[in-house]
Chains A and B, each alone.
Chain A
């Protein structure tokens, strides 16, 4: 390392995700658990890299939170990570963990995705803090993400409650300068004493716990009134703004001269501080991303909060949007001209999912989809995925469709290997149990691709890089009662189509496993095909599989003609296999040259 770098060894450039991991690590966290989900996915790998704690990818968020619950009961400090929709999956344990409380400090980092950069909905996790009656901290940058995560452990242990650290995409995936410190070694608390009144939530115990929770909330409000996690920043008195998290940073940028009540603890709120702040300013705005969560609470205190148009409740804020919200003055138009061709994300060149969608399109299947890269199969020109609801949802949707439309309805569910282990497996058991007939395609690319290539049970390797018991999808399908199970390599286009056709034709539930590693994980390269122009019949079958390495750039007028980008092409030869006249062939001298 250079001299300049050495002087800066305690001043790091960290993403919000890395900073959360850093804060947990410095606070002596013993166990981290979670399931990958943008924008939260990088927290646990960062914690693993720091060392000292046990860290795992659990099969889903509910399991992750329960693993953490066990560790907390055993006296450990725990960190569980999830994206907003993952907290829906973990909501069941969350709500009752609020009753049991903790032994070791328990922190849940939940990452929302305003504007839905990589999500199926835009929910505001602050509502969970209120509904589950647990405190939530909301950092505004990487430094605060580290600091508040550390503080969250103190709050958790002091008030005997799980604590939410609420972040958004622009915290998780923003880098900033963070001052760090060494790890504090923390002993496991207690002695794993049996405390049934605390940890067995039968009605008799829960009714008592419910009263304790109400007392706890009063204490948390008192804490909110005095904590330095929330601060008053007095500037000019004409405009006062109450805000936390990213909304604070945008408002600060837009109104550097205004007065702020900057909330670090966004649940519960400090009524006295809010009333006192409101007294000091002429006009009071509450600036927040997504739901009017703070606005409703603050208005309920009798504070005169200025009205904000509902359109500011949708999508991310920005400094100019905050200015418009308050002054009505619109920011400069930043949208591009409508005629520019969009560049949406696509299935990669060489993606093994492509041929599956091409075949399903040919078979005119109604495809119930799921969450992952393969959701992109809905985009033109493939247009071969017709629903996407939630993790595991497509499997059960297929069953529902066929229960009312019969086996004649050409329904196929597609689900990724990681998503299948997350929640798809329950839907498969349900199909077998309830005499379903659906065809379920497990698109097994040996990774959790969309979120950046995390391992999962089907891969047989754990987050720490150790061998784990590999989940055998074939045996699993057979064990739940599916008799028609086939495994194909989607690089074999005709075989894949045949396997799908047979499965759809079978009047019993079926599973087709299309297995080929993700092209981003293995960097598989084969020689690219070349076009024999004279043989081409301009049918555009190759172009219609939607490969980014194959464009229609060579077309003359309305006569399609493929052009192959040999840098992008991985030589998967799906295009060659769909060509009805074998016009796309690997040149002789290219063979064997992999």
Chain B
């Protein structure tokens, strides 16, 4: 196996760092190499957030950041953020994108609007794109905040980690009372990709 470069992106507060922590812990529990990198501080507060997770079953990883244009998988928690990061992915990358839009405050300012042809532009990028209604699924499951676990379940179909590692990682990272619903959400996300 080569190094898998997973780029998670979205809006501050969407649970991106929690999702990338679960992914990284799952790698550790499976005995893999992993490095995860993100920015705290000013970059949160509703701003764009991304997290780089680099993992490998058999290779050591040097850089904590994904080389430019080298993401092999991208998980976008919001479509605009997906488009913003699309050039950080490899031309043949697998790109999973949440459909639900979160409008940035800057569209209230002159000169900016949410791009209307956003999904066409994503398709035109030539990447292998799958749109997911994860937020909708989470609401259906009765916990709107579990959308990130639905997305993580979808991501799990792209990474060859043992199932047990995912479960154990979720148990390590999540609060006990949220575990059950997040596991159901994860399963639902996994099935979405079937």
A residues whose Cβ falls under 8 Å from a Cβ of B: 2, 4-5, 8, 11-13, 38-39, 41-42, 117-118, 141, 169-171, 173-177, 246, 248-250, 252-254, 316, 318-321, 331-337, 339-348, 373, 376, 380-381, 450-452, 543, 546-548, 551-553, 567
Report Cα–Cα, A342/B34, bound state, in Å: 30
B21 proximal to A (CB < 8 A): yes
Are B41 and A118 neighbours in the complex by a CB distance under 8 Å? yes
A336-B85, A346-B45 in contact; A170/B105 too (CB < 8 A)?
A: no
Are B87 and A334 neighbours in the complex by a CB distance under 8 Å? yes
B159 proximal to A (CB < 8 A): no
A340-B83, A551-B103 in contact; A2/B168 too (CB < 8 A)?
A: yes
When the two chains form the complex, which single residue of A117, A252, A341, A344 contacts B62, counting CB atoms closer than 8 Å? A252
When the two chains form the complex, which single residue of A342, A452, A547 contacts B106, counting CB atoms closer than 8 Å? A342
Q: Which residue of B lies closest to A544 (CB)?
A: B108
Q: How far is the CB of A170 from chain B (nearest CB, A)?
A: 5
Complex interface bits, B92-130 against A, C-beta within 8 A gives 1, otherwise 0: 000000000001111111001111000001000000000
When the two chains form the complex, which single residue of B11, B68, B109 contacts A343, counting CB atoms closer than 8 Å? B11
A341-B114, A342-B104, A551-B108 in contact; A452/B33 too (CB < 8 A)?
A: no
Report Cα–Cα, A527/B68, bound state, in Å: 45
When the two chains form the complex, which single residue of A335, A380, A567 contacts B109, counting CB atoms closer than 8 Å? A380
Report Cα–Cα, A175/B28, bound state, in Å: 11
Are A345 and B43 neighbours in the complex by a CB distance under 8 Å? yes
When the two chains form the complex, which single residue of A39, A341, A345 contacts B46, counting CB atoms closer than 8 Å? A345
Report Cα–Cα, A169/B37, bound state, in Å: 9
Complex interface bits, B139-171 against A, C-beta within 8 A gives 1, otherwise 0: 000001000000000000000000011001001
Are A11 and B65 neighbours in the complex by a CB distance under 8 Å? no
Q: Which residue of B lies closest to A142 (CB)?
A: B35
Q: Which residue of A lies closest to B29 (CB)?
A: A4
Q: How far is the CB of B52 from chain A (nearest CB, A)?
A: 8
Are A336 and B39 neighbours in the complex by a CB distance under 8 Å? no
Contacts of B80 in A (CB 8 A): 340-341, 343
Contacts of B69 in A (CB 8 A): 320, 331-334
Q: How far is the CB of B127 from chain A (nearest CB, A)?
A: 13
Report Cα–Cα, A249/B69, bound state, in Å: 17
Are B24 and A175 neighbours in the complex by a CB distance under 8 Å? yes
Are B39 and A331 neighbours in the complex by a CB distance under 8 Å? no
Report Cα–Cα, A214/B21, bound state, in Å: 46
Q: How far is the CB of A525 from chain B (nearest CB, A)?
A: 15
**Between A and B, how many residue pairs show CB distances below 8 Å?**
184
B residues whose Cβ falls under 8 Å from a Cβ of A: 11-12, 21, 24-25, 28-31, 33-48, 62-65, 67-70, 80-81, 83-88, 103-109, 112-115, 121, 144, 164-165, 168, 171-172
Pairs across A and B, CB under 8 Å, 20 listed:
A13-B21, A13-B28, A13-B36, A39-B39, A39-B40, A170-B65, A174-B37, A175-B36, A175-B37, A176-B64, A253-B62, A321-B68, A332-B68, A334-B87, A340-B84, A341-B106, A345-B43, A450-B41, A553-B103, A567-B144
What 6 A-B pairs are tightest by C-beta distance, nearest first? Answer: A118-B41, A332-B69, A38-B41, A345-B47, A345-B45, A320-B68
Contacts of A346 in B (CB 8 A): 45-47, 105
The residue in B43, B67, B105, B112 that gathers the most chain A C-beta atoms within 10 A of its C-beta is B105
Are B40 and A452 neighbours in the complex by a CB distance under 8 Å? yes
Q: How far is the CB of A179 from chain B (nearest CB, A)?
A: 12
When the two chains form the complex, which single residue of A118, A332, A553 contacts B39, counting CB atoms closer than 8 Å? A118
Are B35 and A176 neighbours in the complex by a CB distance under 8 Å? yes
Contacts of B107 in A (CB 8 A): 341, 551-553
Q: Which residue of A lies closest to B53 (CB)?
A: A175
Report Cα–Cα, A341/B112, bound state, in Å: 5
Q: Which residue of A lies closest to B28 (CB)?
A: A13
Contacts of A343 in B (CB 8 A): 11, 46-48, 80-81, 84, 104, 106
Are B45 and A38 neighbours in the complex by a CB distance under 8 Å? no
Report Cα–Cα, A351/B123, bound state, in Å: 38
Are A335 and B45 neighbours in the complex by a CB distance under 8 Å? no
Report Cα–Cα, A247/B114, bound state, in Å: 37
Are B84 and A336 neighbours in the complex by a CB distance under 8 Å? yes
When the two chains form the complex, which single residue of B24, B28, B81, B85 contacts A8, counting CB atoms closer than 8 Å? B28
Report Cα–Cα, A206/B107, bound state, in Å: 61
Q: How far is the CB of A46 from chain B (nearest CB, A)?
A: 14
Are A319 and B63 neighbours in the complex by a CB distance under 8 Å? yes
Q: How far is the CB of B154 from chain A (nearest CB, A)?
A: 22
Q: How far is the CB of B78 from chain A (nearest CB, A)?
A: 9
Contacts of A170 in B (CB 8 A): 37, 64-65
Are A117 and B44 neighbours in the complex by a CB distance under 8 Å? no
Contacts of B113 in A (CB 8 A): 341
Report Cα–Cα, A381/B165, bound state, in Å: 46
Report Cα–Cα, A39/B37, bound state, in Å: 12
Are A175 and B21 neighbours in the complex by a CB distance under 8 Å? yes
Q: How far is the CB of A239 from chain B (nearest CB, A)?
A: 16
When the two chains form the complex, which single residue of B40, B108, B114, B115 contacts A543, counting CB atoms closer than 8 Å? B108
Are B109 and A381 neighbours in the complex by a CB distance under 8 Å? yes
Contacts of B104 in A (CB 8 A): 341-343
Q: Which residue of A lies closest to B35 (CB)?
A: A176
Q: How far is the CB of B115 from chain A (nearest CB, A)?
A: 6
Report Cα–Cα, A2/B25, bound state, in Å: 13
The residue in B29, B68, B80 that gathers the most chain A C-beta atoms within 10 A of its C-beta is B68
Report Cα–Cα, A117/B42, bound state, in Å: 7
